[in-house]
Amino acid sequence: MNRKRWSCALLDMDGTFFDFPACERRAFFLTMQEFSIDADEAMYQHYRAINKAAWRELERGELTHEQLRPERFRRLMAQLGQPFPHGVTAEQVAEYNVQRIAEGGILYEGARELWQRIYRQYRVCVLTNGSDLTQYNRLRCAGLLDYTHAVVTSQRAGIGKPAAGIFQFALEELGCPDKSQCVMVGDSLEADIRGAENFGIDTIWYNPTKEHLETGQVDKEVNDYSALASALALEE
């Protein structure tokens, strides 16, 4: 067993503990059904590509959350050459979609148990590029809100990962002024890992798909929950 090196853990949500693709798929098709928009798998995959690009814009500060939500549906319909149904706006579609995403407490197998083990030994802060309402609701639906000491969203911090400001905000929320006592756990190499590294805190890259590291190095890479538990020196 490794010796525990840190006292505070910053935990990413989507792709690390939450199965966001499953949440996103459910929300997308429920939204299309609600507004009588014909949708199939090809349309959903097109939406995913648009949404991913829009989130990259948000991380670069080119879009706000308020702009991103309707814009991804506006782009989808425009690129497919389809108008919205009569009387339906991108804003209405986006609002309904966000409500359905907020119900998305779908976790990866073993995620809840691991999270609870981390909580027993660390001060835990959720660090996420999402909105307060959506992420709080998802944590509540997943039964994890009671196993966190702080929740920091990009909306609340006024800035998102990978910017240094959100990491500073999180440490202040946790009452952890010593960076050496904090570790960031996440699946996004750019937003989670490089962002935390640039801020000056240790990182554990959760990489279950074994994505190839093109350039540079990381402090620690793990590919499954067993390895993550070991890296965090968790007790059984």
Domains of the chain: residue spans and CATH: 8-18+107-231 (3.40.50.1000), 21-101 (1.10.150.240)
Chunked mean pLDDT (size 10), the chain, 236 residues = 83 96 95 97 96 88 89 97 96 96 93 98 95 92 97 93 96 95 96 96 96 87 97 92
140 Cα distance to chain centroid = 15
Q: What is the pLDDT of residue 162?
A: 93
| CA end-to-end distance (rounded Å), the chain | 11
Q: What is the pLDDT of residue 2?
A: 63
Q: What is the pLDDT of residue 64?
A: 86
8 A C-beta contact, residue 219 and residue 203: yes
Q: What is the pLDDT of residue 213?
A: 84
Q: What are phi and psi of 118, to 5 degrees?
A: -60, -45
| CB-count exposure of residue 81 (10 Å: 0-12, 13-18, 19+) | exposed
State the DSSP code for 107: B
Nearest C-alpha neighbor of 164 from the set 186, 185, 194, 122: 194
